[in-house]
Amino acid sequence: MASALCRTASRLRSIQNFRRIRVSSDLLSASSPSPACISDALRHGDFSLPRSFFSLNCGIELMKMDQRCLLSTSASDTTSKPDSGKSETKSSDKNEKSGGSESSDGGSDQKNERASGKDVRGGPVSWMSFFLLFATGAGLVYYYDREKKRHIEDINKNSIAVKEGPSAGKAAIGGPFNLIRDDGKRVTEKDLMGKWSILYFGFTHCPDICPDELIKLAAAIDKIKENSGVDVVPVFISVDPERDTVQQVHEYVKEFHPKLIGLTGSPEEIKSVARSYRVYYMKTEEEDSDYLVDHSIVMYLMSPEMNFVKFYGKNHDVDSLTDGVVKEIRQYRK
């Protein structure tokens, strides 16, 4: 409001000065008396001309004073404006500083809260949520790793172990046969009735698997006798009738156990008994007379009636084979 009044007063002063300057210029341009005229008027006692001249000079002096006042007021206005701007900027700077101090105080308060372990309001993640997220991730990783290991172990066990037959009911394994024993006599399944027996199919030229399995069978026979008092008859049936003659089989079985019985026969007879007991065999890598026979690695436990009871694969050792046979014998007696 004060600045507006100052501007109005300066405008009025400028208008008055302009009028005075115009009047004074008119007076000057009309007729300015010369000094000689002024002296003559004073001699004759005419004081009107000096008075007019004096009034003219006074007007000029007043005009100069007004111009000075005008310049001083304009200068004061111009100086007051930047001063007011400076005061405003200073006040704004003070406000900003005060706001900055407040913000710094707020930041220090937040830092103090964080240092004291308190959760900052409005924060996206707290320590508790971070801990829960970490615990959940660790649990998932542990569960996935454990399940993966268990799955791998199951695959390895299934690839090595031979699945056992059904525990209930009778399997379609076994049947009549007519073969030649290692002493040259003909025998049938009826000759084995009355005693427990374990049948194994192989061939005498087998490099490693058949000898290992027969050694295991011979040791289990003796342990079964010690643990249960039952005599179990071990039987070896050849799946290589072309090379396994009676004499060859006789010399072969006596190397493992004195009670081990060896059986052989013609290719048709061997094929029939192998079909009855679900045994797989096939010649491989045939070169002249030297070849191998790929076959099933299974032992069949037969009851005194020559009924199939259970089979045992290569994964069983002497102890597990002994325990399994003794268990089946005791259950059979009940």
Q: Which residues are annotated as a binding site?
A: 206, 210, 295
Helices (H), 31-47: 35-43
Q: Are residues 312 and 298 in contact, defined by beta-carbon separation less than 8 angstroms? A: yes
Q: d(Cα 78, Cα 14) in Å, to the nearest integer? A: 16
- Distance separating alpha carbons of residues 293 and 281, to the nearest angstrom: 6
Q: Where are the beta strands (DSSP E) in 136-288?
A: 178-181, 186-188, 196-202, 232-238, 261-264, 281-287
Annotated binding site for Cu cation: 206, 210, 295
Nearest to 105 by CA among 5, 113, 245: 113
Q: Which residues pair with residue 233 across a beta bridge?
A: 197
Listed residue (30, 63, 23, 26) closest to 49, CA to CA: 30
Q: Which of 1, 6, 14 is nearest to 77 (CA)?
A: 6
